Amino acid sequence: MKNKLFTTTALLILVFNIILAQDPPPLPDAPNQGPINHLVILAIGGVFIALKKYFDRAR
């Protein structure tokens, strides 16, 4: 009897848990994606900094 009560209570808690669990709201549309672009421009900037430093040192 005790065992049955325990099982029923556990099942009820489990079922209520599933019923009450809330998913996050659905996505309204396809996602925006934001990769970091133009790294080549940054690399060129880095080369210019290096060049400037080497030529400044030469002076």
Partner 1 sequence: MIELDKAISNQLLGFVVKAFCFYAVWQISYDFFIHPDGRVDDFLALTVISGAKYLLSLLGWDIYSLGRLIYIDGYRSVEVLNGCNALALMVLYSGFIIAFNGKVLNKVKFIIFGVFIIFTLNIVRIMSFSLATVYFQHHWDLFHEFSPFLFFYPVVLFLWYQWTIVGQGTTPSQPRLSLR
The contact set with partner 1 (CB under 8 A) reads: 24-25, 27-39, 41-43, 45-46, 49-55, 57-58
Judged by beta carbon, residue 1 or residue 41, the one nearer partner 1 is 41
Hey, what are 30's tokens? Answer: 């396809």
Cα distances (angstroms) measured from residue 28 to each of 5, 31, 32, 37, 53: 44, 9, 12, 26, 51
Comparison of 16 and 46: residue with beta carbon closer to partner 1 = 46
Q: Which is nearer to partner 1, 5 or 21 (CB)?
A: 21
The CB-of-38 to partner 1 minimum distance in angstroms stands at 6
Rounded Cα distance between 15 and 32, Å, is: 36
